[in-house]
Structure 1
Amino acid sequence: MARGLLLRRRIPDRRSGRPAVREHHGRPVHRPRHAATPGARRAARTGCARLVTIYAEVIGDPIAQSKSPLIHGFWIEQLGLDAEYRAHHVTSDNLADYIASRREDPDWRGCNVTMPHKQAVIPLVDRLEPLAKRVGAVNTIHRAPDGKLVGRNTDVAGFLEPLRDRLAKQHYFRMARVLGTGGAARAIVAGLAREGFTIVLAGRNPEKAGALLSELAEGEHHAADLAHFAETTDFDFDDREGCCDLVVNASPLGMRGQPPLPFDWSHAPPGSLAYDIVTDPVETQFLANARAAGFETIDGLAMLIGQAAAAFTHFFGEDAPREGDAELRERLLA
């Protein structure tokens, strides 16, 4: 999409009964480094009428903890776009009204969707991409060129992104132990199944795990009780050379305010990769224990940045400038 398509629109002069500032512009916005957007700076120099900037946002309940405004704001800053990215608190009761109001706002380019709305938004969009339909969860909504609202799932792409170099290799066998059966697990199971993994899905309710596997993963997979992995095992693993083994925390366990995930690393085959999708804190006990046991790790920021990059392109018509990922991670960890 040409950069020119991202230009701002002028707000009409105030008339009787018409506010000069739209309601949504009173909400919190992300302005990188607290600087005015390029359009606002030009308006100040020329004395023009105030300009409206296109925007996207993240919605959820709660939402204050979201790192998405920092991520998207960083990329907007790097590219010099006349755009903003905001966090907006939306409750379940207000979700339908939120979508209806944004449909009427030509400056709105879409939103990321976080808990607890990833499934509730499905009937509120005009169409679903096939992957979102298969996963049964939407984490990105954007306005298509025809004006329709499209529901997408970029969690799958975000989860797989840090694994791409590993998955580009040939393996005799791929196995993933996925811990958790919530919304995030749905995207992870669907993504791993497409990459040829045999999946062991563990949850507090093994029947729920089995149903999820039947729905999202073809082939022979296995459901297990999460408690099984909390106890030490003396299982003698076979030769894992040429295999790809993952252990994934797809649950909220280990998040700030949550108990840690009970996993004993004697259950992980030699050479396994530990992957925790939790982002607060980034350094979880799960990852610390994995490293202490000699395993390589991936933290939750990898998936968070990956899924955000896929959404950014849909919102603003530009690829996220990933060459700045190291600096971005520093800001997220500050």
Structure 2
Amino acid sequence: MTHAHRAAVLGSPIAHSLSPVLHRAAYAEFGLTDWTYDRFEIDEHALPGFIEGLDSSWAGLSLTMPLKRVIIPLLDSVSETASSVEAVNTVVFTRDGRRVGDNTDIPGMIAALRERGVDKVESAAVLGAGATASSALAALAVICTGAVTAYVRSQERGDEMRGWGERLGVDVRISDWAEAKQALHAPLVIATTPAGATDALAGAVPDAPGTLFDVLYEPWPTALAAAWAARNGAVVGGLDLLVHQAVLQVEQMTGRSPAPLAAMRKAGEEALAAR
């Protein structure tokens, strides 16, 4: 017997994705016994064929790297939020068969920060300039009233970040990665870099740091996050972001609200602890 409602996360690599754990925890809380959520190893080349092969049992998809941009031409409509950063991490299939794209990373970041009492900051720093950094700028467009300094490794990356800032209405200043220790004095620091990239900064955390938002969740804590917490700075982690963006995905895909944030976070923490 086929299940009535299907959802999944797509990406490459995908084996370590926590999304199935989070979404299944929500289904259990809601009593949605006829819903399934899986993961599929799908790259850019396989994506169109996969999408075309889906039947009416599919409710939605979560998308991770490298699919957040290449999915856009395959959709019928894209939300203003997703358009603002040209990145879709959520697809909902409507009852009339339309494919609707959204980005829950941006409101997920804002919700994760607000959960820790960060509603507004006068300035901020962003470490890195990849896809997550553009989502960080979109979140900062909402909560940062002043300039954002981006610390990048190349002029090309700097130009990209400046371009995103102009598009999003954020005053972006560019600094070289060699000066990244200066970032740690900002009231809000968002680290969007790969594992290990900020380890060398751990020894430069100031005595009274502000808030660090490190988007990694494995390995956790990062050296920077551990040093930050040791100096009594507020730390928001990648699991916080993952859970908050997944909450919004569950609500969109199932049509039920509010999604069970606490149960989803607990499931994520237990899954990470078991690794």
TM-score, with length taken from structure 2: 0.88
Q: CA deviation at 1:160?
A: 1.3
Q: CA deviation at 1:270?
A: 3.7
Contact 1:265 1:290 in 2 (8 A): no
Contact 2:59 2:253 in 1 (8 A): yes
In structure 2, the partner of 1:214 is 163
Contact 1:206 1:224 in 2 (8 A): no
**Aligned equivalents of 1:208, 1:260: Cα separation in 2:** 17
**Aligned equivalents of 1:287, 1:89: Cα separation in 2:** 30
Q: Give CA deviations for 1:188-235 in whole Å, capped at 9, x if unaligned.
A: 1111112234211111114422432333432532111112115xx6x9
Judged with a 3 Å threshold, the aligned counterparts in structure 2 of structure 1 residues 269 and 97 are, in CA distance, closer, same or farther, namely: farther
Matches within 5 A, 1:267-278: 270-278=208-216
**Aligned equivalents of 1:285, 1:183: Cα separation in 2:** 22
Contact 2:18 2:268 in 1 (8 A): no
Q: Secondary structure at the match of 2:53?
A: helix
Contact 1:54 1:83 in 2 (8 A): yes
**Aligned equivalents of 2:81, 2:213: Cα separation in 1:** 22
**Aligned equivalents of 1:264, 1:285: Cα separation in 2:** 6
Match for 1:225: what amino acid?
D
In structure 2, the partner of 1:199 is 148
Among residues 235, 238, 241, which one is paired with 1:300 in the alignment?
238
| Structure number, greater radius of gyration | 1
In structure 2, the partner of 1:9 is none
Contact 2:56 2:97 in 1 (8 A): no
Superposed CA RMSD in Å reads 2.3
Q: Secondary structure at the match of 1:274?
A: strand
In structure 2, the partner of 1:332 is 271
Q: Secondary structure at the match of 1:92?
A: coil
In structure 1, the partner of 2:89 is 139
In structure 2, the partner of 1:318 is 256
TM-score, with length taken from structure 1: 0.73
Contact 2:189 2:211 in 1 (8 A): yes
Among residues 99, 115, 120, which one is paired with 1:149 in the alignment?
99
Q: Give CA deviations for 1:214-260 in whole Å, capped at 9, x if unaligned.
A: 33432532111112115xx6x9x7xxxxxx81111111133xxxx55
Match for 2:113: what amino acid?
L
Contact 1:282 1:301 in 2 (8 A): no
Asked if residue 95 in structure 1 is aligned to residue 43 in structure 2, the reply is no
Asked if residue 253 in structure 1 is aligned to residue 195 in structure 2, the reply is yes
In structure 2, the partner of 1:8 is none
Asked if residue 178 in structure 1 is aligned to residue 126 in structure 2, the reply is yes
Q: Larger relative contact order (C-alpha < 8 A, sep ≥ 6)?
A: 2
Judged with a 3 Å threshold, the aligned counterparts in structure 2 of structure 1 residues 156 and 324 are, in CA distance, closer, same or farther, namely: same
In structure 2, the partner of 1:287 is 225
Q: CA deviation at 1:263?
A: 2.3
Q: CA deviation at 1:185?
A: 0.8
**Aligned equivalents of 1:215, 1:274: Cα separation in 2:** 22
Q: Give CA deviations for 1:2-32 in whole Å, capped at 9, x if unaligned.
A: xxxxxxxxxxxxxxxxxxxxxxxxxxxxxxx
Judged with a 3 Å threshold, the aligned counterparts in structure 2 of structure 1 residues 62 and 174 are, in CA distance, closer, same or farther, namely: same
Match for 1:328: what amino acid?
A
**Aligned equivalents of 1:192, 1:260: Cα separation in 2:** 21
Gaps of 5+ in 1: 1-49, 238-243
**Aligned equivalents of 1:262, 1:164: Cα separation in 2:** 28
Judged with a 3 Å threshold, the aligned counterparts in structure 2 of structure 1 residues 330 and 267 are, in CA distance, closer, same or farther, namely: closer
Aligned length: 266
Judged with a 3 Å threshold, the aligned counterparts in structure 2 of structure 1 residues 292 and 224 are, in CA distance, closer, same or farther, namely: same
**Aligned equivalents of 1:194, 1:260: Cα separation in 2:** 25
